[in-house]
Amino acid sequence: MASVFVTGSSDGIGLESVRQLLAQGHRVVGHARSAERAEDLRASAPGVADVVGGDLTSLAETKALAAAADAAGPFDAVIHNAGVGGGAPRTVTDDGLERIFQVNTVAPYVLTALMAAPARLVYLTSGLQENGRLTLEDLQWVDREWDGMQAYSDSKLHDVVLAFAVARLWPGTLATTVDPGWIKTRLGGPDAWDEVADGAATQVWLATSDEPAARVTGEYLKRFEVQTPHPAARDTAAQDALLATLADLTGIPFPRP
């Protein structure tokens, strides 16, 4: 039995990941952004060991979430599932950060940096990472004309770069990233064609399986198969630059051995 923490698990792929993990007999701690959604998760997945709260649009709450999650651990694996889409106008949070960037990029960085390192880390990305741009001089779309879907694609590339950086810098942790497909969820929208069970299966497998194919690191997968990531993902200079930028923005340095 593994102990697994899943972010953004009150609905969609995150909730399905919790359900699959529970069905396999694992201990699962979920995450919700509010007390109301935490109750929804407990009702939808009654076997969950605990639910920790924290709104990822707040740096303070994300930092507190890292501490609360550690207190609910320890964990063998963490699945960074939480994310927001690109359909809204550019929105700035109370921290002065662009919302998509804060939730999809900054939050997994903060949680990774502050939480005790597990044996396995899985980051959800999207097939749109291939269209992403690592625009380090304007990660938050201050100087560029806003394009929500491009901002989303960029954030999903950031997740791949982050995962590969972790894989390189933390040899004791298996770090991977997963494209779940175009899933029939609220985020996926009405035109999506992939079932939610398929969208959760690969990350559950990576987080828990002892099969050799699941014990990889620094790889990008879809449907249990290794895929070719955006070229920037394996650029170590790009990895270091993104980590340095996130450290400066958050005041949280990335831990290195």
pLDDT averaged over 10-residue windows placed end to end, the chain, 257 residues:
97 95 98 96 97 98 98 98 94 98 98 98 97 97 97 98 98 97 62 75 98 98 97 97 98 93
Active site amino acids: 152, 156
Half-sphere exposure of 150 (CA within 13 A, CB side): 11
Domain count for the chain = 1
Which stretches within the chain are classed as H helix? 12-23, 35-44, 59-72, 99-101, 107-114, 148-169, 196-208, 236-250
Cα–Cα nearest to 203, from 123, 104, 116: 123
Token match 């955006």: residue? 230
CA 12 to chain centre: 14
Q: What is the pLDDT of residue 181?
A: 74
Q: What is the pLDDT of residue 197?
A: 82
Q: What is the pLDDT of residue 184?
A: 59
CATH number at residue 28: 3.40.50.720
Measured CA to CA, the distance from residue 90 to residue 229 in angstroms comes to 27
Residue 255 lies in a domain: no
Q: What is the three-class DSSP state of 159?
A: helix
Starting at the earlier edge strand, list the strands of the sheet with 174-178. 50-53, 27-32, 3-6, 77-80, 120-124, 174-178, 219-222, 225-227
Residue 257 lies in a domain: no
Q: Give bridge partners of residue 80 from the DSSP assignment.
A: 123
Q: What is the pLDDT of residue 198?
A: 87
Measured CA to CA, the distance from residue 187 to residue 12 in angstroms comes to 8
Residue 15 lies in a domain: yes
- The DSSP bridge pattern shows strands 225-227 and 219-222 to be antiparallel
C-alpha angle with apex 89: 85 to 95, nearest 5 degrees? 85
Q: What is the pLDDT of residue 246?
A: 98
What token pair was written down for 241? 């630059």
Q: What is the pLDDT of residue 219?
A: 98
Residue 22 lies in a domain: yes
Residues in the chain: 257
Supply the range of the domain harboring residue 139.
3-250
